[in-house]
Structure 1
Amino acid sequence: MKKLFVVTILALLISNISFAQEDNNSIDLNDTSTNFNEIKLNGLFLVLGAFEVTYERTLNEESGAGVSLFLPIDDDVSDEIKYYVSPYYRFYFGKKYAAGFYVEGFGMLNSTVSYDIEFTSDSFIEKNEAKTDFALGIGIGGKWVTKSGFVGELGFGVGRNFFNNNDLDYEIIGKGGITLGYRF
């Protein structure tokens, strides 16, 4: 009976010690051994009549990869640009984990509307044609991250479309913004 009592007490102590371990599920944003996810919304484009949301995954303390999706919500914007999807890779030069000044390389699958007017002897015909193209470009910017995980970014980039080069209006493309988001 005494042996059963001692074994039970030992089993309870061992299980209590194992449950008393430190909780490692909490994330420290300054921990360099963890990669993070970020969801961001471009506030500048919201003011201008479009919606751009971005997802980024930090790969290590100096780099991250992500993708942005742009959709117009105002008729003035949708008359020019139908959408774009832009994957990117960033290299960070800051002292914090994946933050500070950055340089990025990006691709952009975009769809624009091309307007063409044909004149005849007594009238004119307006033609609207949606064109899809792919661009490569570079960008620069800065990212700031608070201890609680809120993210602010300011950045811009330029690129060149490759396939519809006869349309000079959209040969050079740009992207940029003032984004706010959260790192988790």
Structure 2
Amino acid sequence: MKKIIFLLTMATSAITFAQENSQEVTQPRTVQSSNDISSRKHELRIDALKLILMPSLEGTYEYIYSQDFTFGANMSLYVGDTQDDILGEKFSLTPFVRFYFQEKQKYDGQGFFVEAFAKYSREKYETESYTEYKYDFENNESTYNTVPSKTDKYDAGSLGMAVGQKWVNKSGVCFEVLAGVGRKIVGSSEALDFTPRVGVNLGYRF
């Protein structure tokens, strides 16, 4: 009788041990896929609004450093006619840092953000031609001199802040809107004292 009880106990223990090992072997492991958005740290975007309205080619790169901190740079190149350029800006380079304020966002670098930026810009503009009038009192003669238009450039540097909102879907497509303003700190007196920073950006995280 004791042998039977002993054998039953051993058999029960063996079955239980085998079931536990089987569960450990067959239990699926959660492996972070390379396609998971959470593992992607790089983002490229273009400004669709400026491309349509100005037209200006403006691209942005952003590195997702952590859940609430990112940094990157924006570059803009105006490709339209000079006279159609409302702001006169031909080229700009804008490095920036961002702080995201998210509580229940699914991915890093998503939601409402505050941005600090430094901007270098170059403007190319044309002065209008005009007629200059002179009167010679000694000879009692009037002369008219036409001054032709000319092309000129100036550089400017500014510091500013912006706020915005970014959305990212599970495929990595992102949409962003932002608005802000910078103040000129160095540059030509011809440059504007304030420079806007606005955008409606569409991009992809990889």
TM normalised by structure 2 equals 0.69
| CA–CA separation in structure 2 for the residues paired with 1:119 and 1:171 | 30
> Aligned AA for 2:51?
L
| CA–CA separation in structure 1 for the residues paired with 2:33 and 2:126 | 55
**Residues 22 and 137 (structure 1), Cα distance of their counterparts in 2 relative to 1, 3 Å cut:** same
Q: Secondary structure at the match of 1:163?
A: strand
| CA–CA separation in structure 2 for the residues paired with 1:140 and 1:57 | 18
The CA deviation at 1:102 is 0.5
**8 Å contact from structure 2 (residues 156, 188) kept in 1:** no
2:162 aligned to 113, 119, 139, which one?
139
Match in the other structure for 1:47: 52
**8 Å contact from structure 2 (residues 155, 188) kept in 1:** no
2:132 aligned to 120, 130, 136, which one?
120
| CA–CA separation in structure 2 for the residues paired with 1:157 and 1:65 | 17
Match in the other structure for 2:72: 66
Match in the other structure for 1:26: 34
Match in the other structure for 1:107: 118
**Residues 171 and 119 (structure 1), Cα distance of their counterparts in 2 relative to 1, 3 Å cut:** farther
> Aligned AA for 2:65?
L
> Larger C-alpha radius of gyration, 1 or 2?
2
The CA deviation at 1:136 is 0.7
Match in the other structure for 1:84: 92
**8 Å contact from structure 1 (residues 165, 171) kept in 2:** no
2:109 aligned to 78, 98, 108, which one?
98
Give the count of matched residue pairs.
162
Q: Secondary structure at the match of 2:186?
A: coil
The CA deviation at 1:113 is 2.8
| CA–CA separation in structure 1 for the residues paired with 2:175 and 2:122 | 28
Extract unaligned runs of 5+ from structure 1: 1-20
| CA–CA separation in structure 2 for the residues paired with 1:147 and 1:23 | 17
| CA–CA separation in structure 2 for the residues paired with 1:65 and 1:79 | 26
Extract unaligned runs of 5+ from structure 2: 1-28, 134-143
> Aligned AA for 2:205?
R
| CA–CA separation in structure 1 for the residues paired with 2:87 and 2:95 | 24
| CA–CA separation in structure 2 for the residues paired with 1:165 and 1:143 | 35
Between the aligned residues of both structures, percent identity stands at: 29
Matching of residue 155 in structure 1 with residue 178 in structure 2? yes
The CA deviation at 1:149 is 0.6
> Aligned AA for 1:180?
L
The CA deviation at 1:128 is 3.0
> Aligned AA for 1:164?
G
Superposed CA RMSD:
2.6
